[in-house]
Amino acid sequence: MPSLCVVGMQWGDEGKGKLIDYLAAQADVVARYAGGANAGHTVVVNGQKTVLHLLPSGILHKDCLCVVGNGVVVDPGEILEEIALVESHGATVGENLLISDRAQVVMPYHKVLDKVAEAAKGAGKLGTTLRGIGPCYADKASRTGIRMVDLVRPDAFRARLEETLPFVNRLLEQVYGHEALAFDAILAEYTGYGDRLRRFVGDSVTALHRAFGAGKKVLFEGAQGSMLDIDFGTYPFLTSSNASVCGVPAGTGVPPRLVGSVLGVVKAYTTRVGAGPFPTEIHGELGDRIRENGGEFGATTGRPRRCGWLDAVALRYALAINGTDHLAITKLDVLDDQPTLKVCTAYRHGDRVYDTFPSDLAVLGDCEPQYEELAGWQRDITGAQGIEDLPAPALAYLNRIEELLGVPIGIVSVGNERRQTILVESDGLFR
């Protein structure tokens, strides 16, 4: 029953989509367990780029069953658009897609609430993706959400909407001064989505249990990053789900003991989109340069990503939470032109030195990262096919990362293409 969870160790956009697509060639099932259309997972195959938000990143492999787990919040219009997109890229979407009947539906009012709540926060806004994620998970926790099982049954959907919309409209009108949303328009639009999605919706929990029972290889797809996890991230500057591996059991119905192994995806530097503390952020020209080299513009919103050096303090924390077995170091090539590289090994705040990740935003916002410097390689590594093709300073950088983090590297990525992937540890990623 081999399985592997691929999960981001930073603030998202580590290159999870690329790696899941790469590893899906060896998998029978790819199951997404959390988040929604806030994710943007980029897959590039032979120059053709596909950005996925809700469909699991195994969708380009025709024999792979892609499961959208119960922990995901599904925007029905968005997933239908994505199905059309991947079909236009040559994929077939049919029995290879299973959307959990227990997954929550992102309703139009969730997106409106996301927008008006952000606007109301003014300068204190989180910089969400405005995909309705927070309000949808809030409804789930309040037990006022609508699930896929309701969406695909017109009578049930009408009944749920009749219950929820009056309250939402009062909130919109009386708290936010926003106009009420029209019942009939939502009913018609979403009933139409339900009709089109019905064939994909089913019991994902049983399907996953059967897959494990049949000895299939299962890949769990993380979205966002561990530092955006609702419990462990930089609260409140984070998303509303358990993005770390902790989200797998709750978001799929697969018990923890069946999560065989964890691959922690680590970008060779750090990025973050939206507001919140970022100790190793690089301001000015150097940060701009890394952003340009790495194409660090949001795959979902197009926003420029904030860029910074690798942060071993935050990473050790993320690795511990996830019980990470192997690292996948991505975007190493983006550092090709740097004469020197920095890695943060501790934070100094006043008299205190932190080598573990503090919860206090005041400390995180105001600490001084303690850096160690390493030599750059100043060579193009995008053609490297094996670890032996990498220049000595690049190997030294990777070795130092392994030493500082105490976790072995399983994969190194040197470009956005599926083939620009170096498998360091060929056995034992799935366990």
Which of the stretches 167-175, 218-226, 310-318, 377-385 binds ligand IMO when contact is defined by CB under 6 A? 218-226
Q: Does 272 bind ligand GDP (CB under 6 A)?
A: no
Q: Does 224 bind ligand IMO (CB under 6 A)?
A: yes
Task: Please count the other Cβ atoms lying within 10 Å of the Cβ belonging to residue 240.
Answer: 24
Closest to ligand GDP by CB, 102 vs 326, is: 326
126 binds, among ligand IMO, ligand GDP, Mg ion, none (CB under 5 to 8 A by kind): ligand IMO
End-to-end CA distance of the chain: 8
The amino acid that residue 161 corresponds to is: L
Q: Does 16 bind ligand GDP (CB under 6 A)?
A: yes
CA trace torsion 149, 252, 241, 68 (10° rounding): -60
**Whole-Å CA distances, 270 to 12, 274, 331:** 9, 13, 10
Which of 57, 129, 234, 242 is close enough to bind ligand IMO by CB under 6 A?
129
Kindly state the smallest distance separating residue 391's Cβ from Mg ion, in Å. 28
Which of 2, 6, 9, 14 is close enough to bind ligand GDP by CB under 6 A?
14
Question: The tokens 């509303």 sit on which residue?
Answer: 240
Kindly state the smallest distance separating residue 255's Cβ from ligand IMO, in Å. 24
Which of 39, 43, 60, 66 is close enough to bind ligand IMO by CB under 6 A?
39
Contact at 8 Å (CB) between 424 and 412? Answer: yes
38 binds, among ligand GDP, ligand IMO, Mg ion, none (CB under 5 to 8 A by kind): ligand IMO
- At a CB cut-off of 8 Å and minimum separation 6, what does 337 contact? 289, 293, 376, 378
DSSP 8-state assignment for residue 32: E
From residue 261 to residue 290, what is the string marking binding to ligand IMO with x (rule CB under 6 A)? Answer: ------------xx----------------
Kindly state the smallest distance separating residue 219's Cβ from ligand IMO, in Å. 15
Which of 299, 307, 332, 364 is close enough to bind Mg ion by CB under 5 A?
299
Helix (H, G, I), strand (E, B) or coil at 347: strand
Instruction: Pull the structure tokens for residue 347.
Output: 């934070």
Is residue 41 among the annotated active site residues? yes
Q: Give the active site residue among 21, 41, 229, 311.
A: 41
Q: Does 134 bind ligand IMO (CB under 6 A)?
A: yes
Kindly state the smallest distance separating residue 300's Cβ from ligand GDP, in Å. 8
Is residue 13 among the annotated active site residues? yes
Exposure of 355 by Cβ count < 10 A (0-12 exposed, 13-18 middle, 19+ buried)? exposed
Question: In degrees rounded to 5, what are phi and psi of residue 215?
Answer: 75, 20
**Whole-Å CA distances, 265 to 11, 224, 244, 245, 410:** 11, 11, 11, 12, 10
Closest to Mg ion by CB, 30 vs 172, is: 30
> Which spans of this chain sit near ligand GDP (rule: CB under 6 A)?
8, 12-18, 40-42, 44, 295, 299, 330-331, 333-334, 413-416
Catalytic positions, written as ranges? 13, 41
